[in-house]
Amino acid sequence: MTELAEELLGWFQENGRKNLPWQSEPPNIYHVWLSEIMLQQTQVSTVIDYFNNFIANFPDIVALANADEDAVLASWAGLGYYSRARNLHKSSKIILTTHNGVFPTNYSDLLALPGIGKSTAGAVLSLACNQSLPILDGNVKRVLARYHKVSGHYSSSRVIKELWGFAKQHTPKVQNSSYTQAIMDLGATVCTVRKPSCTKCPISRHCEAKLCNEQERYPTKKIKMIKPEKSAAFLVFLNERGDVYLEKRPNKGIWGGLWSLVECNDNDIEIGAMIKKHNIGATITRSLSSFRHSFSHYNLWVRPVVVSSPGGVNGYYQVKGLSLGLPVPTKKILLALDSVNKP
Ligand code: SF4
């Protein structure tokens, strides 16, 4: 066992996180898998409520496989990266039909499921089955990049190859589940993105970045790009009952599979044409305040335009008690509309 693995395992006894909602004895592989998918790009503190709610709605793999995609997306709404939810759902159906509803515990079977890469498959089988498999999620990349002073950004395949090499080298043959949880916990709580707590770190004695006092230089940062600004109009078609028109977005692209207000380019000609296309008798009644919604690669300025749509029936939903999965800007607009309409 490497020194890093030994020191981490010693530290884990006292300091590791052992009471997260997806941790149990014995481990429940469905819970572990779900948490690993939710934790991709998202922090533990955000994931906890979503996880508890998801498990309440879909307590096991069979319940998930038999659920409607809309119900799954509604439980995911707000977590972002919706392809993760669609892939979870697709995977559960494959597990039901191909593996008789029993979660596979074989690495290649897991890798064959949609949305599961090498690191997630390793994490699930390590945490749930104590299999000796390496992982390389964001936290582990950072710890190893500092410990071994790996230069270069993660977008380089050379860097990723080097990090996988170190991840494999440190993965112990025994106590693998504790080691995996330990290195993830170290990255999340000690070797943090900013200001790592090196004085509390169990592996500081051999950490190359710490020894050179260069912790802040690793991992190599990406050159910051200024995010482009885009804009769009969101049309709030309201019929006489005050119901709102929502359309399901295509699975590909942003907010894939969620239910959204009609979106179009923010210019008067396109807005007018879109309104007439939807309902020849519809007219604009007012605009609500514009707001900015941030994506990882650009900012979107959203201008909500309220339109009265006489006779609108198909695709119109009562806002109160709506249980469809909605993108954050649509949800925000419907809330604003509700508060404007309150006496
Ligand atoms: S010593 Fe500091 S930089 Fe090195 S692994 Fe520990 S917390 Fe991270």
Domains and their CATH numbers in the chain = 3-217 (1.10.340.30), 229-341 (3.90.79.10)
What would you report as the CA-atom Rg of the chain, rounded to the nearest whole angstrom? 24
- Classify residue 314 as left (phi > 0), alpha (psi -120 to 50) or beta: beta
183 Cα: distance to centroid of ligand 1 (angstroms): 11
Three-class SS state of 208: helix
* Ligand 1 lined by 210 (C-beta under 6 Å): yes
Q: Is the pLDDT confidence value at 343 over 70? A: no
CA–CA separation, 170 and 119 (whole Å): 15
- The overall pTM is greater than 0.75: yes
Mean pLDDT of 106-135: 96
pLDDT score recorded for residue 226: 87
pLDDT digits (tens, 9 = 90+) for 122-151: 999 999 999 999 999 999 999 999 999 999
Cβ-contact 169, 242 below 8 angstroms = no
Q: How far is the CA of 130 from the centre of ligand 1 (A)?
A: 26
Note the pLDDT tens digit of each residue in 230-246: 999 999 999 999 999 99
Residue 36 among the catalytic residues:
yes
Residue 186 alpha carbon, nearest atom of ligand 1 = 7
Q: 207 CB under 6 A from ligand 1?
A: yes
Is 278 in contact with 245 (CB distance < 8 Å)?
yes
Q: How far apart are CA 327 and CA 336, in angstroms?
A: 14
The answer on pLDDT for 339 being more than 80 is no
Can you list the alpha helix ranges (DSSP code H) found in the chain?
A: 3-15, 29-39, 44-57, 61-65, 69-76, 83-98, 107-111, 118-129, 138-147, 157-170, 176-189, 208-211, 268-278, 328-341
pLDDT value at residue 309: 95
What is the C-alpha separation between 232 and 266, in angstroms, rounded? Answer: 5
204 C-beta closer than 6 A to ligand 1: yes
Q: Is the link from the previous residue into 104 a cis peptide, with omega within 30 of 0?
A: no
- Give yes or no for residue 195 having a pLDDT over 80: yes
pLDDT category of residue 341 using cuts at 50, 70 and 90: low
